[in-house]
């Protein structure tokens, strides 16, 4: 063959390679646009599928069982009781789809981590409809999908992390001493699941490292050994998370964290990865003004469904695994309220301190099932910390709250008289004669007391201080039970004050 022919042939080959590369890029681009359209529509139409019978985080096994039982009459779903908790509450597996790839999702291994359980029933509602036919066909023909919602129903009954035995089910993968842990292991093994989603909640005080943004959702591709090696099973998890993160950034930009991947030999996620199931840990954290995690529930719905679709189509394989390691690590430097530069008088001297205040949910007999109780979590130089809400208090004067001099008949008497009038005069404590025995909180920014109380302002870690902030001779703010109250609109964005007997 002549030299000229060889050159022409090489040019022809190069042109074909270039055309093929362009065609591949075009196909990937079309696939990407199609996927974006899918998850955009999921987000926009979410309310059509939201399970309206569950709208608060504290719900029990008896609340979800009618939903589970209702699926038994639908031939699309297969529902099987796969175990029982220590207190004999049923553990149920909901399965559907006809594909060869098994995707297994379990939630509420910790009883007080319920966000994903809500999202699971939203996803089930999605599959009940005739909408999204193309995407559903892609998923259902390739996958067999399995949900095990509320793995720890005894913990959910008390809204506590641990089960009735008092152990952390997520540290029972080796001994398998709990019936809940045994059930999870048995189901995983019987399915030989290809992919697993380990669905949890994390503290709302986690932030994306070195940013003021909450870690609304954090991901982890668990390590399967101390060396944190990456085999094909773990790489699938890593790429799938990179794919999910790309989606989530559209709806919660900068609010994604990456969980520490130190190997924990007792944990289910680490072992399920080790046993050959590509495992994704999802931790639902905090989102501004979302105490019941309803927005985070929606984000779970969108990203989980998008991930399941990506498994069916193989779209996640195009993700760059290095993008997973670019997700900021989880940090824990958020407060509910950060007050900067508070001028605090102690023993005749003035000190400048930052206050980090958190409002924790405490079980209570009310419609929500909890009340808020605030406390100072840290104080001093908090310049490397952040707050969901913050105020530069350096130009304000701390003023102790006063007790209203008259005793009122009932709590309703405070509202009849007018909350704003009390606060503008510096009163944040009111004596009341008739206090219901079963009531520990009030929905107005005034503490109710039955007798005298020391209202001196003392700052220390653990304190629940109540004080006003004054500027230019006028009371501007009230800090009460961990909430910052703007006196011009005192009942906006407020949780509760307390009753002191």
Q: What is the mean pLDDT of residues 228-251?
A: 98
CA angle at 347 for the pair 342 and 349, rounded to the nearest 5°? 50
Contact (CB, 8 A) for 278 and 195: yes
Domain tally, the chain: 3
Average pLDDT of the chain is 94
| Contacts of 349 by beta carbon, 8 Å cutoff, 6+ apart | none
The answer to whether residues 143 and 257 belong to one domain is: yes
**Is residue 23 pLDDT above 90, yes or no?**
no
Q: What is the mean pLDDT of residues 406-418?
A: 93
How far is the first Cα of the chain from the last one, in angstroms, to the nearest whole number? Answer: 102
The answer to whether residues 226 and 349 belong to one domain is: no
Per-residue burial over 143-167, b if 16 or more Cβ lie within 10 Å, else e, is bbbbbbbbbbbbbbbebbbbbbbeb
**Is residue 21 pLDDT above 70, yes or no?**
no
Rounded to whole angstroms, how far apart are CA atoms 430 and 451? 9
| The 370-380 sheet, strands edge to edge | 370-380, 349-363, 334-346, 386-392
pLDDT at 490: 80
What are all long-range contacts of 231-234, with beta carbons under 8 Å and residues at least 24 apart? 233/273, 233/276, 233/277, 233/278, 234/273, 234/278
Range of the domain at 27: 1-44
Last residue of a domain, one of 331, 346, 375: 331
Structure tokens that stand for 311 in this block: 């498994």
The answer to whether residues 412 and 272 belong to one domain is: no
Rounded to whole angstroms, how far apart are CA atoms 97 and 78? 10
**Is residue 5 pLDDT above 90, yes or no?**
no
The answer to whether residues 117 and 10 belong to one domain is: no
**Is residue 477 pLDDT above 70, yes or no?**
yes
The answer to whether residues 252 and 377 belong to one domain is: no
The answer to whether residues 280 and 310 belong to one domain is: yes
Contact (CB, 8 A) for 477 and 492: no
Question: Domain with 99 in it: what CATH number?
Answer: 3.40.630.10
> How confident is the model over 51-72, as pLDDT tens digits?
999 999 999 999 999 999 999 9
- pTM (2 d.p.): 0.91
Last residue of a domain, one of 299, 331, 363: 331
Q: What is the mean pLDDT of residues 430-458?
A: 94
Share of the chain above pLDDT 70, in %: 93
> How confident is the model over 141-173, as pLDDT tens digits?
999 999 999 999 999 999 999 999 999 999 999
pLDDT at 286: 97
The answer to whether residues 299 and 392 belong to one domain is: no
The answer to whether residues 306 and 349 belong to one domain is: no
Q: Would you report the helix, strand and coil content of the chain in percent, each value rounded to 5? A: 35, 30, 35
Nearest to 459 by CA among 311, 289, 343: 343
> How confident is the model over 37-46, as pLDDT tens digits?
999 999 999 9
Structure tokens that stand for 75 in this block: 């031939």
What is the rounded radius of gyration, in angstroms, for the C-alpha atoms of the chain?
27
The answer to whether residues 201 and 286 belong to one domain is: yes
Q: What is the mean pLDDT of residues 106-133?
A: 98
The answer to whether residues 78 and 24 belong to one domain is: no
Last residue of a domain, one of 331, 348, 367: 331
> How confident is the model over 171-196, as pLDDT tens digits?
999 999 999 999 999 999 999 999 99
The answer to whether residues 241 and 343 belong to one domain is: no
Q: What is the mean pLDDT of residues 70-96?
A: 98
The pLDDT-based confidence of 34 (bands split at 50, 70, 90) is confident
SS3 for 176?
Answer: coil
Nearest to 193 by CA among 100, 281, 131: 100
> How confident is the model over 256-283, as pLDDT tens digits?
999 999 999 999 999 999 999 999 999 9
Task: Name the one residue in this structure whose structure tokens are 């009883």.
Answer: 111
The answer to whether residues 361 and 275 belong to one domain is: no
Q: How far lies 46's CA from each of 17, 50, 188, 263, in Å?
A: 43, 6, 30, 36
pLDDT at 365: 86
**Is residue 27 pLDDT above 50, yes or no?**
no
């Amino acid at each position: 063959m002549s030299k000229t022919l060889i050159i022409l042939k090489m040019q022809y080959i190069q042109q074909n390679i270039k055309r093929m590369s362009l065609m591949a890029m075009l196909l990937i681009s079309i696939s990407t646009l199609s996927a974006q359209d899918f998850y955009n529509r999921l987000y926009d139409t979410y309310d059509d599928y939201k399970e309206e019978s569950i709208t608060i985080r504290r719900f029990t096994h008896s609340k979800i069982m009618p939903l589970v039982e209702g699926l038994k009459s639908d031939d699309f779903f297969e529902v099987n009781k796969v175990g029982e908790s220590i207190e004999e509450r049923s553990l149920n597996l909901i399965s559907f789809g006809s594909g060869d790839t098994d995707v297994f999702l379990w939630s509420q291994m910790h009883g007080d981590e319920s966000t994903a359980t809500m999202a699971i029933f939203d996803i089930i509602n999605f599959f009940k409809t005739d909408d999204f036919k193309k995407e559903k066909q892609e998923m259902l023909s390739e996958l067999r999908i399995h949900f095990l919602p509320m793995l720890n129903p005894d913990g959910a009954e008390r809204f506590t992390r641990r089960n009735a035995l008092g152990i952390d089910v997520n540290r029972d993968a080796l001994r398998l001493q709990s019936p809940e842990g045994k059930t999870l292991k048995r189901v995983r093994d019987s399915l030989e699941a290809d992919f697993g989603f380990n669905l949890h909640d994390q503290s709302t005080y986690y932030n994306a490292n070195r940013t003021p943004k909450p870690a609304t959702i954090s991901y982890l591709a668990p390590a399967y050994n101390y060396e944190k090696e990456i085999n094909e099973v773990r790489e699938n998890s890593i790429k799938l998370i990179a794919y999910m993160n790309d989606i989530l950034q559209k709806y919660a930009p900068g609010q994604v964290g990456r969980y520490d991947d130190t190997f924990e030999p007792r944990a289910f996620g680490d072992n399920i990865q080790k046993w050959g199931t590509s495992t994704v840990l999802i931790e639902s954290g905090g989102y501004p003004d979302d105490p019941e995690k309803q927005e985070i529930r929606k984000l779970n719905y969108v990203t989980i469904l998008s991930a399941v679709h990506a498994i069916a189509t193989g779209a996640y394989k195009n993700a760059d695994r290095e993008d997973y390691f670019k997700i900021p690590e989880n940090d824990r430097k958020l407060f509910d309220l950060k007050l900067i530069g508070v001028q605090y008088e102690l023993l005749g001297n003035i000190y400048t301190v930052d206050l980090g205040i958190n409002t924790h949910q405490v079980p209570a007999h009310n419609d929500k099932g909890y009340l808020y109780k605030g406390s100072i979590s840290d104080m001093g130089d908090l310049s490397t910390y952040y707050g969901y809400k913050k105020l530069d208090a350096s130009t304000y004067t701390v003023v102790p709250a006063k007790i209203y001099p008259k005793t009122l008949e009932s709590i309703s008497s405070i509202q009849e008289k007018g909350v704003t009038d009390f606060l503008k005069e510096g009163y944040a404590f009111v004596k009341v004669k008739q206090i219901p025995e079963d009531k520990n909180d009030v929905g107005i920014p005034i503490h109710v007391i039955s007798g005298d109380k020391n209202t001196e302002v003392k700052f220390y870690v653990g304190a629940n201080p109540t004080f006003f902030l004054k500027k230019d001779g006028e009371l501007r703010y009230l800090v009460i039970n961990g909430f910052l109250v703007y006196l011009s609109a005192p009942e906006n964005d407020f949780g509760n004050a307390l009753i002191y007997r």
